[in-house]
Every structure is written in structure tokens, then in C-alpha cells.
A and B are shown apart, each in its own frame.
Chain A
Amino acid sequence: MKKLMAILVAVALTAACGGGEGGGPVRPPDAATAGNNQINGAGATFPLPIYSKWFSDYNKLHPNVEINYQSIGSGGGIRQLVERTVFFGASDQPMSDEMLAKAPGPILHFPTVLGAVVPVYNIEGSSTQIKFTGPVLADIFLGKITRWNDPALAKVNPGVALPSGTITVVHRSDGSGTTFVWADYLSKVSTEWKDKVGASSSLNWPVGVGGKGNEGVAGLVKQTPGSIGYVELVYALQSKITYGAVQNQAGEFISPEVKSVTAAAAGAVRTMPADFRVSITNSPGQGAYPISSFTWILLYESPDDKANGLVMSDFMKWALGDGQAMAAELGYAPLPDELVRMELEQLNRIKVQ
């Protein structure tokens, strides 16, 4: 009992130190080896690179805290969280009301970083970046625009020599948050897409072929002349594939990059719901890239293990603070400052006593 108390005190002290030097001298020596704070989480694959970096860097600051993360997919993460087999979940789409109702207690959503989905294409002999509007993208993926020199495309790309060849649509075959974000955007800009297809991690695609993973889609687009697909921004930047600009709500054509993705979140802050369960595709902000999205960490408001709750809450503060600086180099967009402030307030709701 005494030992447990000592550990709890140590944890409280560590947490109080925040992003400090791990509170070395004040911590009783046995706390470091006690292995008390082993926290398990599961969920989305999209944020895995940055979460891995966060967990390992946080572990260097706090050697007694070990956070394990299994990237089994958003669906699996939500499921395991609801069954309480993991301490925290991670998801590329907010939980539905139905799933929240199934959980044994209230669950809080915390946006951690931003990602974006970009249209990638392969047009032989074209070096200028193709511009797309939302309705044009929807019509291409509905199979209504079938040729590159379609008047709708030519209109927004004046002076670009568009080929007359047919368009081959490539989509993700595996269930994915990337597909959800893409379809969520198309649903907002095309009522026909919303009625016929809708938004989910897997879809009943009207046309096209499916490639597995970002690498599958990018591979197919690269080798198929006249094709168009969509991949995560991180992947498009790394794989040097040609990607297009997309028109946002303000009418600007925005090339996807870290800055324009953060701008999309900033544009959505004014209308941010209290639980952060929000889609920021087609964001109204100036300079906002319209196919942007949050990825969330999901935590119980009243965790069953209070000590871990305290540690996790401290980790979140660190991730929302120092952690944000690591986002851009890994291809993620950092959260806007105002949102971080709102989230830090929300973190206080987690009952750690």
C-alpha cells in the first residue's frame, strides 16, 4: 500500500512537471522500475508515424511511462475502447452517436494533428498543376466526367492542354479514414454523391478500380496513363507524385500543403462544437485546403485507472504543446493555437481522482 502511494505521488509529481526533465531527483528510485504506467491504446494507422515519435519522445522524458499503440485501424480502435480492452482509442473519424451510446461511459474526443487528402493524377506531357473544383471531382468519381478534356475541367484550367483520353478512376480498396475524408468532402460539394454514395471508410464505388493502401493507389496512378486517384498528403509529398489544387469554399484554388491544412482547421474553430466531433472538409477559411481532416485520440471522461488517466492527461498536454512542433516534418499539419487552448480546457474534464 505504501509502495502504491509512493508511486502515485511520483506520478503526480511527474505530471506536475509537465514537459520538464522528468522530475529525476524528486522521484523515489523504485518508481522508475515499477513499470506502473503502462498505457495501451489502439486505432488509426494514419497518425502512427507521429504517435510513435510522440510516445517514444515522451518515454525519454518520463522513463516510467510506457505508452503502447497498436495501429489496427480506426474501427478496431473504437471497438476496443468501447470494450475497455485498451485505455485510449484513436480514430480518423469521430465516433457516431450510436457507438458513443454503446460505451460504458462518456468518451471525449481530442484532435491531435491534421491531415489532408489530395487528388493525384497521371496526364502524359502535362507539367502545369491541374485545378479541380469539388463538383468536378465528384462528377469524375461518379463516372459522369469520363474524359480529361471535358468542358467542366477545361473551364477551370484555361490554357492547359488537356488530353482527350478517358479517365481511369483509382480508389482505395481497403477501408480507410482517407476514403472517409475524401467521400465526406464529395458529399458536401455534390448532392448527387451524397444521395448515391455517401461517406464511410468503405464505399460502394460507382466506377473505378481499387488499389490497396496509399502505395497501391499511388502505384496504380503512376503506371496508368490518364488515371486519377487520391492519397494522403504525407504520402503524396514523399512519393513525388503529381497532385492537383482544389478550389475551396472561398473560391481560391489551393495547393495542399501543411500551411493550408492548418488554415482549414483555423477556419472551422469559430463553429467548433464542444465535443470536437466535427468534419472540417470544405472549411470556409481563407487559404484553407478543403479536403482536410482531424485525427482524434479518444479518452474516457472518467477513466477506470485514475493513475493512468493522470499520466495520459499529462501526455496530451505535452502532445498539444511541444508535440505540435514535430508535426510538420512528418507531413502532418499542426493544430491552430486557438483550438489547442480549447482542448487544454477540455482535458480538465477528465476525472483523475
Chain B
Amino acid sequence: MKARSGSDLGFQIGTGAFAALVLAIVVAIGIVLFRESILSIREFGFRFWVTDIWDPVAHEFGARPFIWGTLYSSVLALLIATPISLGIATYLSELCPAALRQPLIFLTELLAAIPSIVYGLWGLFVLVPLVRDLENAMPQWLRDTPLFSGPPIGLGMLSAALILAIMVTPFISSLAREVLKSVPRTQREGAYALGATEWEAIRVALSYGRTGIIGAIMLGFGRALGETMAVTMVIGNSPTVSWSLFAPQYTMSAVIANEFSEAVDDLHLHALIEIGLVLFVITLAVNAVSRMLIWNMNRQALAKPKAKLEPATLGGSA
């Protein structure tokens, strides 16, 4: 018995060390990013986050257009991808005929396996011309609004958001489907027993699994934030801050990928690494916020577990 507990202890320490390794890697990445960008941090300080000029010739570097482009494109991508993904997940787990289910699951997962450079090429040669046609077809009064201003080039925020949406959809839908699958049968049976329609029973299941679904969306957000190759090929790579969906813009990961290999000047290199640091901080913040959101929801759910199963919430049709 003693030996057993000894090996248990060893197992605990061993796995604990692996877990600690993850933490150590995250900290090490942070330290290296900070150290390697020190010239830029000293030179620009907080201004780096809020200025718009990125001029390697004049040694003037500001990250705001890149921060804006990354967040804007990722949020837009989620706005497009979330309803589609939840639709796919719901259909596959609740409504789909059994014969169709496996092929559809296979196809959505295939989408996730396509390399991003392939998405980029497809985006450049197929999506961009389509977006340009759309821009050209748009009536002038709409083109005058800030959301659709700018020349109809095809490259720009809309193309980037669309390609990102296509790329994150398989992630969100697969995870959301897993979440729905893990909702106990009794939840749905209970809803049906109370006289709920199919739609209402699905709402109960979605509501039951909402923390998992939010987790899935946040994972998609994280992936959209860091996506580089496909985005840089269609976003136009112009560091501007604009609400316009047609305007060429830029993202943080794209500028690093684009300029890193040919950056000779020290300050330029450090500024690029500081962009990496900013991306790192923002990704950490997004993850922390989503954790807190989920944690908060779980606590509320525990505090009043009955609330969501009350017949009243199922609507008047009961």
C-alpha cells in the first residue's frame, strides 16, 4: 500500500511539473517579448499603443492601426460566424437525419484542416473579386455612409472578416456540437414533458450548455486574433484606422509576418516585437475576460438552478 501511495505522489509531481511547464512557457514568452522590444518601449512608451504612424524610414512607430485592424476584423468575423456555427451545431446534434450527420460532420471538420495559405489564395482569387463586384453594385447613397466608403478594390476589411469567419466556423461549430451532445437527455425530455415545442426544447439545451458555447466562441475569437497568412493576403495591408468595411487595413500578426525578415534597423525590429507583445497581452486579456464571463455565469446558474427550467420561461405556447 505504501508503494502505491508513493507512486501516486510521483505521478502527482510528474503531472504537476508538466502543468507548471505551461505556465513557465507563457511567462518565458512574455519576458522574451519584453526584453527584445525594449528599445521600442523606451523610445515610444505608451504612445506606441495610441499613435497611427508606422514609418520604418523615419523610425516612427505606432501600433494603433494594427490593434484596431486585428480587433475589428476578429469581432466582425465572430458576428458572421457565431450564428452560422450555432445553426450548424444545432442542426447536426438535434435535427439532422442520421444518414447525413457523419458526412456533414466530416465536411465541417475538413474545413478546419485546410491550411491558412490555401484560404488566403482562395480569398485573393475568388473572394476578393466577388467582394469587388458587390462593392461596385452597391448604390451610391450607401457607399457614402462611413461603413461602406472608399474605392471598390475588393481587398479590405470585409474580405478579411469573411475569410476569418469561414476559418473559425468549423472550430466554433464543432465545439458547440460537442457541448450540445453533452447536455443530458433529461433536460430535453423534461422540456418536452412540459409541452415544449422542438425549438423551445433546443433553446433549453442551448441555455444549459451556454458556458461551453461561449467558450467555443471565445476559442474562435482567439484563433481569429492570431490568424496571419490568410488575412494578410486579403486585407490590403494599409495601416489605417477606419470603420469602413471596404477600406484596406492591417493586422498585428500580418505586419510582423510581412516586415520581420527584412527589418535591418534595430528600432524597426524592436517595434515589430513590441507588436507581438501587444498581441500577446490582448490575447491574454481576451482569454481572461472570457474565463471570468464563464465563471460568472456558472456561479449564477448555481445560485438559482431552477430558474431556467421554470415552465414560464418556455413561453406561452406551453
Contacts and interface: CB of A to CB of B under 8 A. Distances in A.
Interface of A: 45, 72-76, 78-79, 93, 96, 99, 166, 168, 173-177, 197-205, 208-212, 216, 219-220, 223-224
A173 B54 CA distance: 13
A75 B263 contact: yes
Interface in B176-232: 232
A205 B238 contact: yes
A181 to B, nearest CB: 12
A345 B238 CA distance: 46
Chain A interface mostly: loop
Which 10 residue pairs across A and B have the least CB separation, nearest first? A175-B262, A210-B237, A73-B261, A173-B237, A198-B57, A204-B55, A201-B262, A209-B236, A174-B258, A75-B264
Interface string B50-71: 0001111110100000000000
A96 B156 CA distance: 35
A273 B128 CA distance: 47
Nearest to B232: A212
Contact of B58 (A93, A204, A209): A204
27 contacts: A45-B261, A73-B261, A75-B261, A75-B263, A75-B264, A96-B264, A99-B264, A173-B258, A174-B257, A175-B259, A175-B260, A175-B261, A175-B263, A177-B262, A199-B57, A200-B265, A202-B56, A204-B57, A204-B239, A209-B153, A209-B238, A209-B248, A210-B248, A211-B237, A219-B125, A220-B124, A220-B155
A223 B259 contact: no
B233 interface: yes
Nearest to B154: A224
Contacts of B232: 173, 212
Contact of B258 (A93, A166, A199, A212): A212
Interface of B: 53-58, 60, 124-125, 128-129, 132, 151, 153-156, 232-233, 236-239, 248, 254, 257-265, 268-269
B151 A168 contact: yes
Given A201-B259, A202-B263, A212-B232, 15 more contacts: A45-B261, A75-B261, A75-B269, A166-B151, A173-B232, A200-B56, A200-B265, A201-B263, A201-B264, A204-B53, A209-B238, A210-B237, A219-B125, A220-B155, A224-B153
B268 to A, nearest CB: 7
Contacts of A176: 262
B65 to A, nearest CB: 11
A75 B232 CA distance: 21
Contacts of A199: 57
B153 A74 contact: no
A129 B60 CA distance: 39
Contact of B264 (A78, A174, A205): A78
A219 B151 contact: no
Contact of A223 (B53, B125, B264): B125
Contacts of A211: 233, 237
A73 B262 CA distance: 5
